């Protein structure tokens, strides 16, 4: 039988994965303006999903090491990181630079993937300090960001200007809220 603690953790991690995936969704909306084939869309989503698994994994592992050495103060540091990240995402949603610098092919795809997954490292660091389940976290982060990237790419041509900044703002608010939760509880 599944415990209520596990259900709560899965719900929290899923919401965080959605919040982090909003960056990938926003970038997908922007990339949707570039003519792409279905095969390219599939590849872009998979690569971004893999980066959204690798970056938080690195953060989780480093966060676990930090939590062993710093104890309860580490939880406050993790909450502070989420607050800062949420504020940064909210502020960046108001900038007008939604156009990609490079095309999502080859090195450009790796740069895109790295840029949208850097915040996943910080969140992974916070979750490692908090003691989250590693496998569940990285699988959720990877799958959800991959699906959101695909969704962004597919609908990007029609809705990029309307949804783009709001999705990043929404994601920033969610991360900010989780940061507050870690600091208060």
Distance, in Å, from the CA atom of 66 to the CA atom of 43, rounded to the nearest integer, reads 35
pLDDT for res 46: 95
**If DSSP states are collapsed to H, E and C, what string results for 73-132?**
HHHHHHHHHHHHHHHHHHHHCCCCCCCCCCCCCCHHHHHHHHHHHHHHHHHHHHHHHHCC
For 148-151, the CB contacts below 8 A with 24+ separation are 148/18, 148/21, 148/22, 148/24, 148/25, 148/28, 149/21, 149/24, 149/25, 149/27, 149/28, 149/44, 149/45, 149/48, 149/49, 150/28, 150/41, 150/42, 150/45, 151/25, 151/28
Considering its fold, how many domains does the chain have in total?
1
Average pLDDT over residues 169-176: 72
Distance, in Å, from the CA atom of 149 to the CA atom of 104, rounded to the nearest integer, reads 12
pLDDT for res 115: 73
Least confident span in 26-30, 99-103, 147-151, 178-182 = 99-103
- When computed from its CA atoms, the radius of gyration of the chain, rounded to whole angstroms, is 16
| pLDDT digits 0-9 by tens, 70-83 | 656 656 776 777 78
Average pLDDT over residues 16-23: 85
Residue with more model confidence, 72 or 160: 72
The domain of 75 spans: 4-184
Q: What percent of the chain has pLDDT over 90?
A: 17
Structure tokens at 75: 């939880």
DSSP assigned state of 34: S
Which candidate, 80, 89, 78, places its Cα nearest to that of 173?
A: 89
pLDDT for res 101: 43
Average pLDDT over residues 22-28: 78
Backbone φ, ψ for residue 93 (5° rounding): -70, -20
Average pLDDT over residues 12-31: 82
Which residue in the block uniquely carries the two structure tokens 């991360």? 175
pLDDT for res 100: 46
Average pLDDT over residues 22-47: 82
Distance, in Å, from the CA atom of 30 to the CA atom of 23, rounded to the nearest integer, reads 11
| pLDDT digits 0-9 by tens, 99-155 | 544 566 788 788 778 777 877 887 888 887 777 788 888 999 999 999 999 998 888
Label residue 131 left, alpha or beta by phi (over 0 means left) and psi (-120 to 50 means alpha).
left
pTM strictly above 0.75: no
Average pLDDT of every residue of the chain: 78
């Amino acid at each position: 039988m599944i415990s209520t603690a596990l259900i709560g953790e899965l719900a929290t991690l899923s919401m965080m994965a959605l919040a982090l995936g909003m960056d990938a969704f926003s970038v997908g909306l922007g990339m949707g303006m570039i003519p792409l084939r279905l095969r390219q869309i599939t590849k872009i989503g998979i690569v971004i999903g893999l980066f959204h698994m690798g970056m938080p994994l690195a953060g989780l592992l480093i966060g676990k090491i930090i939590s062993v050495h710093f104890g309860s103060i580490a939880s406050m540091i993790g909450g502070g990181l989420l607050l800062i990240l949420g504020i940064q995402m909210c502020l960046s949603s108001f900038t007008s630079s939604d156009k990609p610098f490079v095309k999502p092919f080859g090195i450009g795809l790796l740069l895109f993937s790295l840029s949208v997954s850097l915040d996943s490292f910080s969140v992974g660091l916070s979750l490692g300090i908090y003691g989250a389940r590693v496998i569940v976290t990285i699988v959720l982060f990877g799958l959800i960001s991959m699906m959101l990237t695909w969704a962004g790419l597919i609908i990007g041509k029609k809705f990029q200007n309307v949804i783009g900044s709001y999705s990043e703002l929404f994601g920033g608010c969610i991360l900010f809220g989780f940061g507050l939760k870690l600091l208060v509880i």
